[in-house]
Amino acid sequence: MIIMPKIILIGGFGWHDIGDEAQLTTPLINLRKFIPNVQFLALSDGPEYTAKYHKIDADHSINYYLFPKTKNIFSKIMRKFGLDMLLRGAILLFNAQRLRKNKKTIFLNDRGQRLLYNLNSADLLFNVGGGNLNSIWRFGGLYSKCFTYLVCKIFEKPIILSGQTIGPFNSWFDRKFAKFTLNKVDVITLRDTTSEKVLKDIGVVKPIIKTTADDAISLPSATPDEIKAVFLKEKIDEHYPLIGINIINIGYLSGSKLNNAKQMLAEVADYLISELDARIVFIPTEYAASADDRVAILEVLELMEHKDKVRVIMNEYDDKTLKGVIGQMDLVIGLRYHFIVFATTMQVPSIGIYLDQYYAMKMKGILELMGQKKYACDIDKISSEEIIELVKDALRIKDKIKQKLEERTKILGESSLFTIEHAVKLLENKGR
Q: Quick one: pLDDT at residue 75? A: 60
CB half-sphere exposure, 85, CA atoms < 13 A: 23
Structural domain spans, the chain: 6-212+416-431, 224-412
For 320-370, how does the pLDDT look when each residue is reduced to its tens digit (9 = 90+)? 999 999 999 999 999 999 999 999 999 999 999 999 999 999 999 999 999
Average pLDDT for 391-407: 98
Average pLDDT for 394-419: 97
Helix (H, G, I), strand (E, B) or coil at 29: helix
Q: Which of 22-36, 78-92, 188-202 has the lowest mean pLDDT?
A: 78-92
Question: Residue 430 burial (CB < 10 Å; 0-12/13-18/19+)?
Answer: middle
pTM, full prediction: 0.95
Better-predicted residue by pLDDT, 354 or 255? 354
For 169-193, how does the pLDDT look when each residue is reduced to its tens digit (9 = 90+)? 999 999 999 999 999 999 999 999 9
End-to-end CA distance of the chain: 7
Task: Specify whether the backbone of 107 is left (phi greater than 0), alpha (psi in -120 to 50) or beta.
Answer: left
Question: 42-45, long-range: CB within 8 Å, 24+ apart, which pairs?
Answer: 42/8, 42/9, 42/10, 42/13, 42/14, 43/8, 43/9, 43/10, 43/115, 43/118, 43/148, 44/13, 44/14, 45/13, 45/14, 45/15
DSSP string, 319-385: HHHHHHHHTT-SEEEESSHHHHHHHHHTT--EEEEE-SHHHHHHHHHHHHHTT-GGGEEETTS--HH
Average pLDDT for 257-281: 96
Give φ, ψ of 35 to 5 degrees: -125, 110
**From the candidate CATH numbers 3.90.1150.10, 3.40.50.2000, 3.30.450.40, 3.30.160.20, the one assigned to the domain spanning 224-412:** 3.40.50.2000
Q: Quick one: pLDDT at residue 71? A: 62
Average pLDDT for 393-403: 98
Q: Quick one: pLDDT at residue 74? A: 56
| Class at the top of the CATH hierarchy for domain 6-212+416-431 | alpha beta
Confidence of residue 375 (pLDDT cuts 50, 70, 90): very high
d(CA 381, CA 374): 13
Mean model confidence pLDDT for the chain = 95
Confidence of residue 1 (pLDDT cuts 50, 70, 90): confident
For 52-98, how does the pLDDT look when each residue is reduced to its tens digit (9 = 90+)? 999 999 999 999 999 987 666 656 565 666 688 899 999 999 999 99
The yes-or-no verdict on residue 277 having pLDDT over 80 is: yes
Q: Say what percent of the chain tops pLDDT 70.
A: 96
Report the C-alpha dihedral over residues 326, 330, 336, 339, rounded to 10 degrees: 30
Average pLDDT for 191-205: 97
Average pLDDT for 215-219: 97
Q: Quick one: pLDDT at residue 140? A: 82
Give yes or no for a contact between 247 and 259, defined as CB atoms under 8 angstroms apart.
Answer: no
Q: Quick one: pLDDT at residue 236? A: 96
Q: How many CB atoms lie within 10 A of CB 353?
A: 24
- β-strands 130-133, 187-190: how paired? unpaired
Domains 6-212+416-431 and 224-412 in one fold: yes
d(CA 428, CA 34): 12
Better-predicted residue by pLDDT, 71 or 307? 307
Q: Say what percent of the chain tops pLDDT 90.
A: 89
Give yes or no for a contact between 50 and 44, defined as CB atoms under 8 angstroms apart.
Answer: yes
